[in-house]
Each structure stands twice: as C-alpha cells, then as structure tokens.
Amino acid sequence: MFISYFDDKRVTENAINGNIKKLAAYRAEIAASATAGTTTVPEYSLYHCKEFALHEELAALKKQFKGVTHVVLVGIGGSSLGLEAIHSVLDTGAVKLSVLDTVSAARIDAVIKSVVAEKKVSRIAVCVISKSGGTTETIANAAVLLDALKEVYGAAIYGQTIFIGNPGTELLKYGKKQGAHIFTMPEVIGGRYSVATMVGLVPLTLLGHDVDEFIEGYLDAGEERFESLVAESAARIAVYHKLKYHHYNFFAFEPRLEQVGKWYRQLFAESLGKEVDLAGKTLIHAMVPTVSTPVELHSTGQLYMSGVPDTVTDFVTFDDEIIDVKIARGNKMAAALNGYTMQEVATALYGGVVGAYQEKQLPYRATIFEESLPYSLGLFMAMRLREVMYVAKILNVDAFNQPNVELYKTKTKEILSL
Amino acid sequence: MFISYFDDKRVTENAINGNIKKLAAYRAEIAASATAGTTTVPEYSLYHCKEFALHEELAALKKQFKGVTHVVLVGIGGSSLGLEAIHSVLDTGAVKLSVLDTVSAARIDAVIKSVVAEKKVSRIAVCVISKSGGTTETIANAAVLLDALKEVYGAAIYGQTIFIGNPGTELLKYGKKQGAHIFTMPEVIGGRYSVATMVGLVPLTLLGHDVDEFIEGYLDAGEERFESLVAESAARIAVYHKLKYHHYNFFAFEPRLEQVGKWYRQLFAESLGKEVDLAGKTLIHAMVPTVSTPVELHSTGQLYMSGVPDTVTDFVTFDDEIIDVKIARGNKMAAALNGYTMQEVATALYGGVVGAYQEKQLPYRATIFEESLPYSLGLFMAMRLREVMYVAKILNVDAFNQPNVELYKTKTKEILSL
C-alpha cells in the first residue's frame, strides 16, 4: 500500500502534529483493548476477526455451500455496502451477486426472475442481514423474495438461507423457526463498522473470495507501521475540517473502486456528520463526502480543477497487471497510441491528473494498492475504519451513533400506520 | 411532471423575482432563436431535434439494425452519460448495453468477451462517439475493441459500426474509409448538451427505445408552462449560489434514476464550475453537485439530515405502476407490512424523508414523473439543460466552455509523449 500526501499551504506541520498528540491516549487505549481482546467497546470491530471460532464457522459454511452460483444479499447501508465494495473489486464472474437494498418493485421482480432461472435450489444462497432485525426495507424485500422462492423451490429454500444480525432479534428467531442458518454479529459493533464480522465475511465466503487474505490485511492495519500512518491521515483530515473545507472527494481512479468509495462515504458521513459534539456544542460545519471516477474527468473534473474552494481529494487506485491489452502497432485510428497497453494509458491519465493537481496546488492524498487485492482491501478498510474513529476523537464527536436518521423512519412508519 | 419547492427562510420571494427579471432578455432571445431555427448559437441544443432530416435518418437506422441485441457504446462524458441515463430508466433487458468510457483493461476484456459471445455480427452495433474526434480514452477503447472484433467477425464488423462526431474529424474520416456508418452532430452544440442530437438518439434507436416520445417531451420543454417553471427554478438556484450554499444533492429516489443524476451532475458542474466570470472576475464560490439514492438514507442520510449547513436537495422520482408486488397477508416475517405493496412502502419512505426535511426546515425541490417515462425523460432533460443556461446567465458565467480540464489532458499527453 503506497500512500502519499500533497497539502496546500494552509495545512501546517504544526497543526498536524498537534492533532497527532491529541490522539496519544486513544491510540494506547485501542492497543490495550486489542491485546486484551476486549469485547465491550465499539472499537472491537478492529480486532473481532481474530476470533478462532469465526474462522471455523466460515470453513464449515464454505463446505456446505460449495455448489452456489448465485448469492442474493438482502440488506442496506452497513449491511450491504462493505460486501458490495469488496465484491465489485474481486468479481471474476464465477458467482453472481444480486443485492436488494432499497425498496423497488422493478428491482425485486428482476432479481426473483434471475434466481428462479438458476433452476436448482443448491445453486442459490440468500443472506438476510439486519443488525436490529427491524429494518423496514430489508424485511419487506426478504418477505417478498422468500415467499416467491418458496413457491418455486418449496421449503428447501430455507436450507439455503442465512439470517445475520444481533443475537436474539425477532428476525433471527423467525429464521430459526423456518430452519434457516443463523449467524450473529457482536451487538457492540455498529453497522458501518461491520464489514469484518459475519455481515461481510459470510457473503464473501459464499461468493468464493479469499477471506483469509482479506482478514490478514485487515488485522495488519493494527501494526505500528500502518497505525502511525492512520494517525497522520486522521490528523490531517481534522485540520481540513477545522479550516472548514467543505468537500471530501473520494476519487476511485479504477472504476471497480467506485463501490469502495460508496462504502467509505457512508463511514465518513455517518461517523462525522453530527449536529452536536460530545460536549453538547452545536456543530456548524461538516465536510460532505462525494465519490468520483475517471469518467468525471469529463464532467465534475472541470469544477474540481477550477480549484473550487475547500475540496480535498482522496485518490485511490491499483495497478491491474493480471489483465492487459496492447493497442496494436499499425492501428491507424489510434496511431499516436500504437504500442501502448491500456494499463499504460490509464496510468498516464492518473499521472496527468495528479500532475494537474500539484500544479494547481490542490490538496490530495493518493493510495495505490500494491499487494494482492483481497489483502489490500482488508488493510485499506481497516485503516479507514480506524482513521474515522481517530478523526472523531480529535473533533470530539461520537463516531458510533447516528441520531438524525430516526426522524424519517418515524415519519415513514406513521404513513404506513406501523 | 409534478414539481414543488420547499425553501428555507434565507430564500425570499424578492430575491427569486429579482433573478427572474434578470432573465427576461435571455428568455426572449432563446425563444426568437427557436422560432427562427437559428443554428449558430449553442442554445441550438434546445430545438435541434425539430429537424425533419434527423427523424428520417433515425427511421432508416432502425430498419437497418433491426436484429441488434447488443449495443456497445464507446464514448465518455457528454458522449455517454445522457444515453446511459435514459437507458438505465427504460431498460427492459431486450437489448444489452455495454459502455466503454474510461480506460480499464479489465473492463474492455469483459466487454470483448461478451460481444464475441453474440456469435452473429448482425446482432452487434458499435457506436464510437467523440465530438472532437480526439478523445484519448475513446480512441484507445475503440482501437482495441474494433481490432478484437475484426479478428472474430472480419471486416463485416465495420458494417455494424457507427461513428458520431463533429463534421470532418479525423476519426470520422477513418470510419468512412472502413465502410462504417457516419453521423454528424452540429459543431455548435457542446458535449454535455448533446443528448438530443445523434449522440444520444442513435444509440437510443439501436436500443429499441421510444425516441419519438422522448423528442416530444424534449421539445415540450420550450412551451410557456414549462419554460416559466424553468425560469423560477433557475432563479432559485442562483439565490442559493449567492447565499453560498456549498452542496447540491441530486437525490434519485428511484434507484434507476441514479444515472440521470450523474448526467445532471456533469451538466451542472461543467457549466457552472468556473474560475472566472464573463467580466473576468475570479469566482470564490461554487456549489458542488453530488448524487444520492435511497440507500444513502442509511449512510449519508445521517449527515444531510443533521442539517449540514448549506445543502440543497433535489428529489427526483416516479411512480412505477407497471411492475408491483404485494407483501402477502399471513407473512410472519413482515407481519406489520402485510397487505402493502412494494410501491406503497417505497412511497411511504419518500413521504417520510420529505416530511423529515420539512420538519427540519431543509430546503429542497421535488420532481415526480407522471407521464410516460420516455416523454418525462425528454421533458426533464430539456428543462434541466435550459435551467443551467439560465443559472449561468444570472451568475454571469459561460455555460458552454470548460477551460480547466485541458491541464490534465496536456500532462497525460506529455507522459505518453504524444
């Protein structure tokens, strides 16, 4: 993992170091919890996947669901974004993933049709994920999906279904009654921090990805060389926040990283976007995260490169050396590009953009994945989870709550007379 | 098309009316150009599709490419986003669309494989779109794609290929030499305004969509009842801009509208995100557009509903009455939702969110498509194109140029020694 920074003049070494100092006690606290294996703090998400029992459960799962060719995930937000992020990078087409997140009649109709086309129930795995067991979207989607599949495949569909959530929810009890598989996640770990619990690891296993490599990378984020980088990045983001930068642009320079950006956007927005800090003080500023891809060089690029005030860019990319194609010598349409490979052109675009940012003095950080992709994704996600906790600590906000989404949920329930 | 507004207290009737007044001369000017059929102004994009010859060409195209089941579009930014937006709403699965926009070896490898799987050359249509004929990404993608397909299908692939761009570009000349079809778009119409030129209409025809309905809606946007709504919306956006609102959130409440959001984000960012205005004055403020979907209610929703300062939300949705599914009475998992349809749950979520915005005094506009989808999309896109021209007029910026993207292009070419 290669990480570099380019700051504008307003960000001083002093300010960064000052923030790093503010983190000292918290860093020691997390390190102690990790060593002790403390299961009662929300930071447990950073080392929960050390648990041996979890690995055994996943190995058993892998064996049992060997013939699966289509995984349907029913979940939303913290229950789906992490898994989608990893799958969209690692997807080789071997196992199909369908996700039912928000409520859309057209979408569920299409998913049911494609699952029915699998013909054999042993090819299907359905994961129903709701931490609380009470997410309206997930319950509506799961009810309609499972009813439709039961009509085709009979009760056998429950043998291919897995319910995941906090221990003891009504949803899990219901699943157990139907004979479905039940996996629990630790209650203390919030949804947006749950990618390396059963929430992410069960569907990743069903999809055939290298979960061991992912976990190895994930746990390596706790090592000193990575942890100190995280502290530096967090200190920097907190400086930008204090200087009232308004926009945080996650620039997925490899299009397959766009979903990783959406996962990070959730993590960042939900953890840091609060009305009041821990001292009860009203916050009048927030950085709003957005996600870009190289397509935006031909669209929002104009805006970002105009130096729109107070935007920080977060370039993330990887070298794709497994697949490459050369532009043939002698091709007259692309005569000037003859002999280059697609990867070389992509790298030149990346270099061109980074060069333009430097010349225009626009602040950014750049991350390039260099090791195996499952390992890099694990490392990257764990570093970002830790980072957002660190930023919250410096800003004195609660990284783990989300008080403002309750209002729309209440109003929705009023409309439905629930 | 149902449109409503909810402003916060800082936006006054006076300010809105003041901006509407500023538009009077420009509105009259566009109306006069439209009546005269003036082809020399960039606003030509608003009425170009009245041209009779264009409809004849499309009818001939439809006939000739009747057997097509897979369309590959090679283009980026203004050459692909509009088409993708329309297709992602109207897609019924009848014809497959693959888009090659940015440079990605993995993506082009996957597209080539799926096009080769079609087996018959008559099932394939390739559209290569570059206004200038010199877009690096498009040329690289087209060169590699067409070389690979020629190896499988022989020179016959050029009979299934269409080149679109400004008249007389090198790319068009090259295409003509190979025996491909050539369509031109008017040079005066910028890429981000080109959805209702051959750039959008040719691939839409190949995909089997109702282009006539789309054009009908598109041209209706010029009628007084819609045009005056556009002026009001533009006046409002300019007020928000003057009050230094930082974020513009396009909230695609139907997930299939997300691509429409991406098209609008480009239009908005490229047209309004400038460093200097027409008087040469440096601009220190810009509104940055971002795109949300209902999935974000479980992620960035927390941030937006915290009342993050200075965000305007642009809800866009439609009633999907063609496909719907009921949650069965007697389903125990979703007992509280028994008897509701998915569309009713989706509508309740929408109502819940809009209610929460009102209670929290967060400004928004809401658009609901009520007529046929192709018609609504045409109307919506033309209204938004016109609106952004109006906003630019009030802000005194050039809606039609994009000076800042040249730097990264220059640097990319340096790296590739072009």
Each residue's pLDDT tens digit, A238-297: 999 999 999 999 999 988 999 999 999 999 999 998 888 999 998 888 898 999 998 888
* A328 at B interface, C-beta within 8 A: yes
Verify that B394 and B296 share a domain, yes or no: yes
Which residues span the domain enclosing B386?
Answer: 2-29+216-403
Mean pLDDT of A104-129: 95
C-alpha B332/C-alpha B256 separation (Å) is: 30
* Cα–Cα distance, A102 to A137 (Å, whole number): 6
Residue A416 lies in a domain: no
Do A334 and A378 reside in the same domain of the chain?
A: yes
Residue with tokens 């996947």: A49
Residue B298 — pLDDT band, cuts 50, 70, 90? confident
Residue B276 identity: V
Together in a domain, B177 and B323: no
> Does the residue B56 lie in any domain?
yes
Q: Per-residue pLDDT for B273 more than 90?
A: no
Residues 6+ apart with CB under 8 A from A64: none
Mean pLDDT of B139-152: 96
Is residue B36 situated within a structural domain?
Answer: no
CA distance B1 to B20: 21
CATH number at residue A302: 3.40.50.10490
A239 and A348 assigned to the same domain: yes
Does the residue A65 lie in any domain? yes
Among A281, A288, A292, A398, most B C-beta atoms within 10 A, so best to mutate, is A288
Say if the Cβ atoms of A320 and B137 lie within 8 Å: no
pLDDT over 90 (residue B126): yes
Hey, what amino acid is at A269?
A
Tell me which chain B residue has its CA closest to the CA of residue A141.
B342
**Residue A123 within a domain:** yes
Of B253, B248, B244, B282, residue with least CA distance to B265: B248
Select the more confidently predicted residue: A274 or A381. A381
The ipTM (two decimal places) reads 0.89
Distances (CA, A) of B264 to A370, B78, B311: 35, 11, 17
Q: Are strands B311-318 and B288-292 parallel, antiparallel or unpaired?
A: unpaired
Give the tens place of pLDDT for each residue, A329-376: 988 899 889 999 998 999 999 999 999 899 888 999 999 998 899 999
Assess contact for A113 and A121: CB atoms under 8 A: no
A242, A243, A246, A250 alpha-carbon torsion, rounded to 10°: -80
As a 3-state breakdown, chain A gives helix, strand, coil percent values, each rounded to 5, of 55, 15, 30
Hey, what are A92's tokens?
Answer: 């080789």
> What is the C-alpha separation between A16 and A364, in angstroms, rounded?
15
Decide which of A209, A234, A265 is a domain's last residue: A209
CB contact under 8 A, A140 and B327: yes
pLDDT at A286: 87
Please tell me the predicted confidence (pLDDT) of residue A405.
72
The percent of residues above 70 in pLDDT, for chain B, comes to: 99
Nearest CA to CA, how far is A22 from chain B (Å)? 25
pLDDT at A79: 95
Which whole number is the average pLDDT over A75-99?
A: 96
What does pLDDT average to over chain B?
93
Are A146 and B333 inside 8 Å of each other by CB? Answer: yes
B7 plus B120 within the same structural domain: no
Q: Which tokens sit at A308?
A: 């729109």
Structure tokens given for B274:
């400038």
State whether A291 and A183 are in the same domain. no
pLDDT for res B48: 97
- Taking the Cβ of residue B409 and every Cβ of chain A, the question of whether any pair is shorter than 8 Å is answered with yes
- Which residue type occupies B355? G
Query: If you ran DSSP here, which 8-state letter would residue B9 be given?
Result: T
Please give the pLDDT value at position A306.
75
Does A303 have pLDDT greater than 80?
A: no
In the predicted structure, residue B411 carries a pLDDT above the cut 90 = no
Answer yes or no: do A257 and A305 share one domain. yes
Mean pLDDT of B19-36: 98
pLDDT in tens, B341-383: 998 999 999 999 999 899 888 999 999 998 899 999 999 999 9
Q: Pick from A226, A230, A291: which is nearest to A256 by CA?
A: A291
Whether residue A163 sits in one domain with residue A23: no
Give B-chain residues touching A418 at CB under 8 angstroms. 336-337
Secondary structure of residue B6 in the 3-state scheme:
strand
Question: Domain boundary at B209, B244, B266, which?
Answer: B209
Structure tokens at B217: 């809606």
What are the residues facing B252 on neighbouring strands?
A: B316
> Is A391 a member of any domain?
yes
Look up residue A18 and give its two tokens.
Answer: 């000052």
Instruction: Give the residue carrying structure tokens 């349907």.
Output: A72
pLDDT at A302 exceeding the cut of 80: no
Mean of the pLDDT values across residues A311-327?
87
Within 10 A of A93 (CB to CB), how many other CB atoms are there?
8
Helical pair A373-395 and A13-22, crossing angle rounded to 10 deg: 90
Q: What is the DSSP letter of B252?
A: E
CA atoms within 13 A on the CB side of A227: 14
Domain count, chain A: 2
Contact A346 B104 (CB under 8 A): yes
Residue among A103, A101, A94, A99 nearest A111 (CA): A99
CA distance A225 to chain B (A): 30
Q: What pLDDT does residue A143 have?
A: 96
pLDDT reported for residue A260:
98
Q: Is A136 on the interface with B (CB under 8 A)?
A: yes
Token couple for A55: 């690995």
Band of the pLDDT at B283, cuts 50, 70, 90?
confident
Give the amino acid at B410. Answer: T
Beta strands in A196-274 (DSSP E): 247-252
pLDDT value, residue A275: 84
Q: What is the mean pLDDT of residues A400-408?
A: 80
In a domain, residue B408? The reply is no
Contact call for A334 and B410, based on CB within 8 A: no
Amino acid at site A375: Y
Q: Measuring CA to CA, how many Å separate A83 from each of A88, A95, A181?
A: 9, 14, 19
B223 and B116 in one domain?
no
Strands B70-74 and B364-369: unpaired
Q: How far apart are CA B50 and CA A161, in angstroms?
A: 55
Residue of A264, A266, A236, A240 lying closest to A250 (CA atoms): A264
Is A89 an interface residue toward B (CB < 8 Å)?
no
Residue A175 lies in a domain: yes
> What whole-number distance in Å separates Cα of residue A411 and Cα of residue B93?
35
Average pLDDT, chain A: 93
User: Is residue A15 located within the same domain as residue A92?
Assistant: no
Whether B277 has a pLDDT exceeding 80, the answer reads: yes
Shared domain for B283 and B174, answered yes or no, is no
Q: Identify residue A17 by its one-letter amino acid code.
A: N
Mean pLDDT on B231-247: 95
CA angle B299, B300, B302 (to 5 degrees): 85
Is residue A147 a contact partner of residue A126, using CB atoms and an 8 Å limit?
no
Weakest-pLDDT range from A282-291, B122-131, B179-188: A282-291
Q: Looking at the DSSP assignment, which residues form a beta bridge with residue A96?
A: A70
A91 DSSP assignment: -
Chain A to chain B Cβ contacts (< 8 Å) = 357
Confidence of residue A411 (pLDDT cuts 50, 70, 90): confident
Of A148, A178, A209, the residue at which a domain comes to its end is A209
Q: Which position has the token pair 């959001």?
A: B261
> Looking at the complex, does the CB of residue B108 fall below 8 Å from at least one CB of chain A?
yes
Domain match, B193 and B220 both: no
